[in-house]
Amino acid sequence: MPVLSVALDLPLHRLFDYLAESASTADIGLRVRVPFGRGERIGIIVDVASESEWPQEQLKAAGDILRDLPPLPADFFCLCEFASTYYQAALGEVLLQALPVGLKRLDPPDRRKARAVRKPDPVPPPALTEEQAGALAAIDLTAGFSVHLLHGVTGSGKTEVYLRLVEQALAAGQQALLLVPEINLTPQLETRVRARFPEAGVVSLHSELAEAARERNWRAAFAGEANIILGTRLSVFTPLPRLGLIVIDEEHDSSFKQQDGMRYSARDIGVFRAHQLGIPILLGSATPSLESWANAQTGRYGLLALRQRANPEARLPLVHILDTRKKALQEGVSPALVAAIQERLARREQSLVFLNRRGYAPVLACPACGWVSRCTRCAANMVLHLADRRLRCHHCGCEHRIPKSCPTCGNQDIHPFGRGTQRLETWLQAQFPAARVLRVDRDSVKSRKQWEAMLELIHTGQADILVGTQMLAKGHDFPRLTLVGALGADAALYAADWRAPERLFAQLMQVAGRAGRAELKGEVLIQTEYPDHPLFAALAAHDYPGFAARQLKEREEAGFPPYAFQAVLRAEAPEMANAIAFLKAAASLAVVSENENVMIYDPVPMKLARLANLERGQLLAESYSRPALQHFLPCWREAIESIKAPSKLRWHIEVDPLEF
C-alpha cells in the first residue's frame, strides 16, 4: 500500500508517514487530512513511497486527499526547503505557514464570490527623469538573475521605476511580485497600481485582509489569474506560475524580518527566489540596509542612484539641527519649532511633529516613594494612555486602570514622566487652538478604513498639524506638508544595540523626506542635545553614502555583520535560572568544541529579559564564514534536541538576528 510522507505545521524536524490506498506520485504537493493525536490536521504530501521505515501496522490511514487545488509546484518546495535549512525551521512549519488560513482549516466555511470591483480609468505614466530612465535601462528582464539596489532620495520616483519594470514584465506575459514592509503602505500602492494597470489583475496579500479575501487573492495568484501581487513579508512565499520580477520597496525596513514562528528575512528569501528562478530582483530604499549597501559596494549587487526628486519643482528639504541643551522646552518642543509651526499655519501649510513614542507618557511614577508603573508580566514599564484611562504594556498587551493613588505608599500626587504622542497632541491643541491637530499612531489608526480616512483628511487639507510616529515616516506623499519637527531622537544614539544608529538615521531621513515633495519648499528641524554627532551632520547634508561608509568601517573594526555572521539560541522559561542552565548545556555540547570556526559566547539575559511571564535568555553563535556557520547549526540543533530540559522551557534558533 502506498505510504504518504506528510509535512505538518509543527516545530518538529520530521515528516509523518500515513497509509493511502489510492495515492500516487502525482499527489505530491496536495493537501491531505490526517489523524494526529486525538484529532485531525491538514498536512501537505511531500513524498509517496512504497514502504516506510516504520512497521506498516504502526501507520495510520490518511484521510481525504484534497484536490480542490493543483499540487504545489516544485519551485515552491525548493524555496521552502531552502528556508527550512537556512533558518533551522521545520519544513512543515515553512510549507504550511505559506498557505492562507482557509486552506489549513479542516472544515472551511462556504466562500461567497467576491464583489465586482469597478476598474479605475487608466492613468497615463508621467515622463521619466534622466536618472529614472538610466535606472530602467540598467535592468534587463530577459538577462536572467540579477540583484539591483535602487538608492533614491525621498521623492525621487522609485515607485515609477517599479511600475515601468512591472509594465515590461506584463508585456512579456509574466507576473510581478511587489513587497512593502507595512500594511499601511499597501492601499496607497494598490490604488496607484490599479490605476496604471486596470486590466492586469491586481491582488494584495497581507494580514489585515479578511480570511476569505486573502484566500481568494492567493488562489488567483497561484492560478496565474492575478498578474500583479502586492503584499507584506509572507507574500514572498506565494507560489506563482509565471513570476518574472520581484520588487522589494523600503528593503531596509525591519518589518521584513519575521520575529516569531519561522524567523526569516523576506528580503533575503526574495533574493534566493530570484536566483532560483533566474529572474531580476530590485531592492529600493532611500536608506538601504548596510548589508545591501555593502553588497552594492563590492559589486555583488548592481547599484542604481536617483539623486534628485522626480518633481522638477521639488527640492530636498533644508535640515537644521537644533541644539536644545540651553533652550527652555515646552513639552519637549523648542521655541524655534513653535515659531516654524506658526509660520506654516499663517501660510496654510501643514506641519508634522514626529515623536516615535505613542501613549500619553512612557511611565506613571510616584515622587514620594519611587514607585513606577511596571508591567507585572514583563521587564518593562506600562505606558500611560490618558485618553483611555489605562496603563498599557506595549510588549504583552497587559493593561490596568490608572490608580487614583500610589499602590505602594498611598500618595495621591502621582505624575506622568516623559511624553508620548497623546500628550504632545494635547499640548499642541492648547498652544494652537485655531489649528486642526491630527494624531496618527497605532492607537488612533487600528484598521485600514481608519487609515484611509486619516489620509483623506491630510490630503484634503483638513489637518494643519500632524503628530505622528513612524507610521508617517515613509512612503507617503503630502503636497502641502512643508515642515517636519523631530523630537526625542537622542536616546538611540548611545543605545546598547549596535544597529541603533543605522535605524535612527533611516528613521529621521525617511520622516524628513515627507517635507517639500511638491513645489513648496520643505524644512526639517531636528532637536538634539548632541548637535555635533556625525550622524546629524550626515542628515543635514542628505549624505547617506558618507554615513554608511563610517558605519561599515566601525562594524568591520568591531567584527559585526555584514563582516561576521550570527545566529542566536534563545530559551524562555518561568525561571531565568532554568533558561540560563539550558543555554550553558547547549554551549558545552561536544559539537561546539569540534567547530573551531564558530565562536559561542556566554549565555546572558535578553534585553527585554521578561516577557509575558517568561524569563528569556540567549546565546550568541558567530563566525566569519557563513558556510561554516551553516554547517555548524544543524548539527548543533540536533544535539540541543537531546538535552533534557524542563517541560515548560521553550527554545529556538534565529539566524541573522536583528534584535538581542
- Could you say which DSSP state residue 8 is in? -
Looking at residue 121, its pLDDT comes to 74
Q: What is the value of pTM for the model shown?
A: 0.94
3-state SS assignment for residue 49: strand
Cα within 13 Å of Cα(205), Cβ side:
28
- Could you say which DSSP state residue 27 is in? G
Question: What average pLDDT does this structure show over 179-204?
Answer: 86
For residue 189, pLDDT over 90 is answered with: no
Domains of the chain, each with CATH number or no CATH: 3-73+85-104 (3.40.1440.60), 130-306 (3.40.50.300), 318-359+419-556 (3.40.50.300), 565-655 (3.30.70.600)
Looking at residue 364, its pLDDT comes to 95
CA angle 136/139/140 to nearest 5° reads 120
d(CA 543, CA 8): 49
* Per-residue pLDDT tens digits for 476-523: 788 899 999 999 888 788 777 899 999 999 999 999 998 988 888 999
Where is average pLDDT lowest: 105-119, 181-195, 590-604? 105-119
For residue 391, pLDDT over 90 is answered with: yes
- Extended beta strands in 250-323, E state: 280-285, 302-306, 318-323
Helix axes 448-459, 186-196, angle to 10 degrees: 70
CB 292 within 8 A of CB 260: no
Using 50, 70 and 90 to split pLDDT, how confident is the model at 114? low
Cα 509 to its chain centre, rounded Å, is 18
C-alpha cell belonging to residue 243: 513570476
Looking at residue 247, its pLDDT comes to 98
| Residue of higher predicted confidence among 53 and 111 | 53
3-state SS assignment for residue 390: strand
| Residue of higher predicted confidence among 358 and 582 | 582
- Could you say which DSSP state residue 71 is in? P
CA angle 439/357/409 to nearest 5° reads 115
Looking at residue 119, its pLDDT comes to 74
Nearby residues of 553 by Cβ (< 8 Å), 6 or more positions away: none
CA angle 509/513/518 to nearest 5° reads 165
Tell me the pLDDT of the chain averaged across its residues.
93
Looking at residue 232, its pLDDT comes to 93
What are the start-end ranges of the H helices in 138-210?
158-171, 186-196
For residue 475, pLDDT over 90 is answered with: no
Return the amino acid letter for 234. L
Looking at residue 446, its pLDDT comes to 79
Q: What percent of the chain has pLDDT over 70?
A: 98
Looking at residue 110, its pLDDT comes to 73
Looking at residue 221, its pLDDT comes to 97
Question: What average pLDDT does this structure show over 4-18?
Answer: 95
d(CA 621, CA 566): 6
Segment (H or E) for 503 = helix 500-512
Question: What average pLDDT does this structure show over 144-168?
Answer: 96
For residue 314, pLDDT over 90 is answered with: no
Using 50, 70 and 90 to split pLDDT, how confident is the model at 305? very high
For residue 117, pLDDT over 80 is answered with: no
Looking at residue 451, its pLDDT comes to 82
Nearby residues of 230 by Cβ (< 8 Å), 6 or more positions away: 178, 179, 180, 186, 189, 190, 193, 202, 203, 204, 205
C-alpha cell belonging to residue 531: 548637535
What residues does 67 pair with on adjacent strands? none
Looking at residue 618, its pLDDT comes to 97
Where is average pLDDT lowest: 102-116, 294-308, 324-338, 577-591? 102-116
Using 50, 70 and 90 to split pLDDT, how confident is the model at 116? low
| Residue of higher predicted confidence among 552 and 326 | 552
Using 50, 70 and 90 to split pLDDT, how confident is the model at 145? very high
